[in-house]
Amino acid sequence: MAVITFRPILTAVPSKVSSRIIRGYATSIPAKVHHRVVVVGGGTAGVTVAAQLKRSRQTQPLDVAILDAAPIHHYQPGWTLVGSGLKPLKPMQRPLADVIPSGVKHYPLRVSTFDPENNAIKTSEGVDISYDYLVVAPGLETNFAGISGLENALKDPESLVSSIYSDKTCEQVWKNVQAFKQGKAIFTQPAGVIKCAGAPQKILWMALSQWNRNGVRNNIDATFATGAAAMFAVPKYSKALEELRQQRNVEGLFQHNLVAVDAKNKVATFKNLADNGKEVQREFGFLHVVPPQKPWDWVAKSPLADDAGWVDVNKSTTQHNKYPNIFSIGDASSLPNSKTAAAIASQAPVLVDNLVAAMSGRSLDAVYDGYASCPLLTGHNELMLCEFKYGGIPKETFAKVFGSQDKPRRVFYHLKKDFFPYVYWNSFLNGTWFGAQGWSRPNTS
């Protein structure tokens, strides 16, 4: 049998990366392999689904494989904490091999094409992988190149241009916040779909809070420039955040989409979406950028994608609308809700229950109601815990205890800063955390 052999330069592997990942790359992989369930993506969605499948009593023993070439698994919600100076970067990442669930086969390979008619995947490394069932959860692409001049600006620490949307750039955010003492500060949010749509504001509010602490807030003119028409997609929280924006003297530049950054001349160029895309230029001293985001090309150009490029699934069952043995959740899916880790916590048990039902020839009775959560930092020691489901309808976990959650509270701040990172590494990725349900697995039907 032909094999594909990986011989990496071991000196390129970080010294603290476990021997598991080295063995994974060094082991010969057959040119053709088959698994009962193949999961594309080793991020939050993929690892969580694989862990829950292995834990499901209805599926033991189940042959599951994860396909992902990334060496590192990131706790992406933690990048906001890093950019705010609340946490160091190192605890927000671990070798991917260390979070692959026990008993799950990991292939460090990249998908090149999907062949759903033949239940097969072709990889860039030449390995063909076939499956009985497929879970597609590779996340989305953060497109820094989609804004002219942004990549070069981010490489220059003197530019005071930064972004929390990458592990390569989030540490610079905190350095820039600390360095900036006076002038014009602009925080952007792109038009269209992004992961964690509250994050562009989180870093705005945390920067303002830090500048207050540093005694320089009155010297700084702050602007929130967003491609959206309002502060937030859910009306209840949008109203509260708009009041906060006005109280804290932040200019709102709505329906303005950042298209170019001139770091040398300190000019940001926007298109005014409310005025036929007319260009608007703004000078800045400090600029925090959230880049546009999109489906991976190898997903968008595949038979699995809808017209927008997302994996085309039923919004309630997570099953593909054309191929019944394919499922998808997380950022890559067409599920019309907020793309957050909290959403995945609610999506995963629905997918797992419906996938198990499909394997058994039963009806797919598990239903996802669109639940998502955005723990929106509004300053030091305060956070607005936005929870909602399809239709922008609030679905608040703690309202009966603390009252309406459109009011920032300190207890929620510590959930985000201290509790959620711990739970992520110790329960979420092990398949035992279910978001608003805590450690109690929900009845999904």
From CA 394, how far away is CA 298, in angstroms rounded?
35
Residue pair 120/308 in contact (Cβ under 8 Å)? The answer is: no
Query: What is the distance, to the nearest Å, from the Cα of residue 227 to the centroid of all Cα atoms in its chain?
Result: 19
Nearest to 358 by CA among 368, 369, 366: 366
386 is catalytic: no
Residue 8 main-chain phi, psi, to 5 deg: -70, 155
Token couple for 181: 């003492």
From CA 156, how far away is CA 172, in angstroms rounded?
10
Token couple for 425: 């590494």
For 36, counting Cβ atoms within 10 Å of its Cβ (0-12 exposed, 13-18 middle, 19+ buried), the class is middle
Residue with tokens 């001049």: 149
Residue type, 353: D
From CA 401, how far away is CA 399, in angstroms rounded?
5
Nearest to 69 by CA among 46, 102, 87: 46
Q: Which of 374, 376, 423, 429 is catalytic?
A: 374
Q: Which of 111, 170, 196, 263 is catalytic?
A: 196
Residue type, 184: K
Q: What is the DSSP string of 178-224?
A: HH--SEEEEEEE-SS--BSTTHHHHHHHHHHHHHHHHT-GGGEEEEE
For 23, the enclosing helix (H) or strand (E) is helix 19-26
Residue pair 151/165 in contact (Cβ under 8 Å)? The answer is: no
170 is catalytic: no
Tally of CB atoms within 10 A around 319: 22
Q: Which residues are part of the catalytic machinery?
A: 196, 374
